[in-house]
Chain A
Amino acid sequence: MSEWLTDLWDGIRTTLIGMRITWRHLFTRSVTLQYPTERWTLPPRSRMRLFMKYEDCIGCGQCVRACPVHCIYIKADRRPADAAPIWAADGTPIKLDVKLFDIDMSLCCYCNLCTYPCPTHCLYMTTEHEFATEDLGKHYYRFAKTDAQFLTTNPKAAAGAVAVAAPGAPQKPEVAG
């Protein structure tokens, strides 16, 4: 009999505890984000679409070697000896003429391994993530340009002349620390 009563009491008590919890949640704000109309601002270190700033690339190919899925393709020639010297934004002289810099984002596994070895920090991941397409070919990004405006003076020598971001380039996320 005492077991029966304790069972009964436990049943009622635990039910009431559960009901109190659901009741309390009835009055808390929902956490739903109405996605297409409301968006979450991604944290700055989000690993989304890759971007490469062509003007800063020295064509070293370290990103190609780092990529575990081989989705970066580079073709680079030695610059002619008589060509005007050009520099990347951090003052590294660009010795190679990068003919082709392609990234197949449909293969990319978003591991971010390619951005660490980049000596001029020209390859980085942006927070842009809504680039689903009906055509896989649209995930094949060609970053090489024919009309690139390279720096013709060494930015390190000309103190204060910081490289201006190329037009249309997504903001490189500011990473603290």
Chain B
Amino acid sequence: MDLVYQLATQLYPAFATWPAWLTVTIAVLISGGILMTLVALGPIVYVYAERKISAFMQDRLGPMRVGPYGLLQTIADTIKLLLKEAIFPRDVEKSLFVLGPCLVVTGAFLALVVLPLGSRLQVVDLNVGLLFVVAASSLSTVGLIMAGWASNNKYSLFGAMRSAAQIVSYEIPEILALLTVVMIVGSLSLQQIVWSQAGGIQNWMLFRYFPLMHVAFAVFCLAGLAECNRTPFDIPEAESELVAGFHTEYSGFFFAMFFMAEYTEMFVISVVASVLFLGGWHAPVPAWQQIGPVGLGPAWLVAKAWALILVMMWLRWTLPRLRVDQLMHVAWKVLLPVALGLTVVIGGLLVIPATRDGFPWDPFCFPITLAAIAVPLLRAAFAARRWQARRDAELAR
């Protein structure tokens, strides 16, 4: 917003002389419009990526017909969804039925306002930014319950109830995992959290207090995954049990809105995770922060977020859906005690002067972590290549 304001004053000096309420409104509308458009187009990319990744993981090709490599498939699907009739079943509560998806989308998009996409690329830097993100993303629960209840359908209502139970449960470990970062930084402002991780990969939150922040990151990612209602935590829309859960009765544009909200929420959770633990828009090496005058901050942030989205999709196509009681077990008996313990331990470590800035072995832990992630992945990839060669040889025989 500040950036837009400054740009406007530079391009058109009289802009600064306009009344403050007008300039602020214009600046907010422009920046918000750009952000909304970019993020709302995101699901087109994510849906395509999801379909392709799922296909590759199942040894299929995925969409291939519409456009080269099926690139236009999601665009075609989107156009189809937008042009389809929105059906209102006879017994639905019409006003809530419409309000439900709107609220879900609002909840998903509202969090974008405070996400720092770059050092100055942020709509507004609230000093309670993290709280705002959490509050905004739980707003969509209300929308889900509205949608499920207004549908006047037991499957929808079941889905909505389950989603409420799930989101309420998982918010607690999520917030406790956030608290560890907040305690270390001492601020809720996302921009300040990012700044506290400046100076290269070894300063990222993920690599402080060696094993502890890794656990916090894992807890946050798991809880975030559950917040987005994605497999393996997709019991609200469990298609084998509840038809489609809360969006059973929706069609056309409203269905598209739920979809958009789900993928946007995924993006938001991934961005928040990268901001909190992976250094936000900071490059892993400070020298890579910009090419000449062009800052690469947003690109780094989006790259990190997309890597996390890839992990989310990867998990989705790996794990089966949890049962409702297993879901509650994971939230209340596993994640919550772990997150609570982490909060206490890290709070204690921050008080002790010797460990206020992290453990002494922290600077050495990031190569270990990176190796622990990269080596098995590369090994599995190469094993896959060898396996492929063997399978080809067997088929040729």
Is B34 close to A, CB under 8 A?
no
CB neighbours (8 Å) of A21 from chain B are 318
B388 touches A28 (CB 8 A): yes
Residue ID in chain A nearest B320 by CB atoms: A18
A18 touches B318 (CB 8 A): yes
Stretch of B84-92, B133-141, B379-387 at the chain-chain interface:
B379-387
B57 touches A30 (CB 8 A): no
CB neighbours (8 Å) of A23 from chain B are 57, 314, 377, 380-381, 384
- Which residue among A8, A11, A28, A34 has the maximum number of chain B CB atoms within 10 Å of its CB? A28
Residue ID in chain B nearest A17 by CB atoms: B318
B58 touches A18 (CB 8 A): no
B314 touches A19 (CB 8 A): yes
A29–B389 Cα distance when bound, in Å, is 10
Q: How large is the interface on B (under 10, 10 to 19, 20 to 34, 35 or more residues)?
A: 20 to 34
- Nearest CB in chain A: distance from B170 CB, A: 16
- Interface residues in A16-48 by Cβ distance below 8 A to B read 18-32, 34
CB neighbours (8 Å) of A11 from chain B are 334
Residue ID in chain A nearest B329 by CB atoms: A7
Is B319 close to A, CB under 8 A?
yes
Taken residue by residue from 1 to 12, chain A's Cβ proximity to chain B (1 for < 8 Å, 0 otherwise) reads as 000100110010
B318 touches A24 (CB 8 A): no
A22–B57 Cα distance when bound, in Å, is 5
Is B332 close to A, CB under 8 A?
no
CB neighbours (8 Å) of A34 from chain B are 61, 64
B387 touches A30 (CB 8 A): no
CB neighbours (8 Å) of A4 from chain B are 333-334
A24 touches B60 (CB 8 A): no
CB neighbours (8 Å) of A32 from chain B are 59-61
Is A106 close to B, CB under 8 A?
no
What are 25 pairs between A and B in contact, CB < 8 Å?
A: A4-B333, A4-B334, A15-B315, A18-B318, A18-B319, A20-B376, A20-B380, A22-B57, A22-B314, A23-B314, A24-B380, A24-B383, A24-B387, A25-B57, A25-B59, A26-B53, A26-B381, A26-B384, A27-B380, A27-B388, A28-B384, A29-B59, A31-B60, A32-B59, A32-B61
- Interface residues in B313-332 by Cβ distance below 8 A to A read 314-315, 317-319
Residues of B within 8 A of A (CB): 53, 55-61, 64, 314-315, 317-319, 333-334, 376-377, 380-381, 383-385, 387-388, 391
Q: A8-B334, A20-B376, A24-B380 are in contact. List 19 more A-B contacts (CB 8 A).
A: A4-B334, A15-B315, A15-B319, A18-B318, A18-B319, A22-B317, A23-B57, A23-B377, A24-B384, A25-B57, A25-B59, A26-B56, A27-B385, A28-B387, A29-B59, A30-B55, A30-B56, A34-B61, A34-B64
- Nearest CB in chain A: distance from B236 CB, A: 21
Residue ID in chain A nearest B64 by CB atoms: A34
A24–B317 Cα distance when bound, in Å, is 13
A24–B381 Cα distance when bound, in Å, is 6
- Which residue among A19, A26, A29, A32 has the maximum number of chain B CB atoms within 10 Å of its CB? A26
CB neighbours (8 Å) of B377 from chain A are 23
A31–B57 Cα distance when bound, in Å, is 11
CB neighbours (8 Å) of A15 from chain B are 315, 318-319
Residue ID in chain A nearest B383 by CB atoms: A24
A19 touches B315 (CB 8 A): yes
CB neighbours (8 Å) of B317 from chain A are 22
Top 5 closest pairs, chain A to chain B, by CB: A27-B384, A24-B384, A32-B61, A18-B318, A22-B318
CB neighbours (8 Å) of B388 from chain A are 27-29
- Nearest CB in chain A: distance from B330 CB, A: 8
A50–B21 Cα distance when bound, in Å, is 83
A8-B334, A19-B315 as given contacts; A30 in contact with B384, CB under 8 Å = no
A14–B71 Cα distance when bound, in Å, is 34
CB neighbours (8 Å) of A24 from chain B are 380-381, 383-384, 387
A18-B318, A19-B314, A22-B318 as given contacts; A27 in contact with B381, CB under 8 Å = yes
- Nearest CB in chain B: distance from A146 CB, A: 46
- Nearest CB in chain A: distance from B73 CB, A: 15
A15-B319, A18-B318 as given contacts; A26 in contact with B57, CB under 8 Å = yes
- Nearest CB in chain A: distance from B317 CB, A: 6
A24-B381, A27-B385 as given contacts; A19 in contact with B60, CB under 8 Å = no
Please tell me which one of the listed residues B61, B334, B383, B385 contacts residue A30 in the complex, with CB atoms under 8 A apart: B61
B58 touches A25 (CB 8 A): yes
CB neighbours (8 Å) of B57 from chain A are 22-23, 25-26
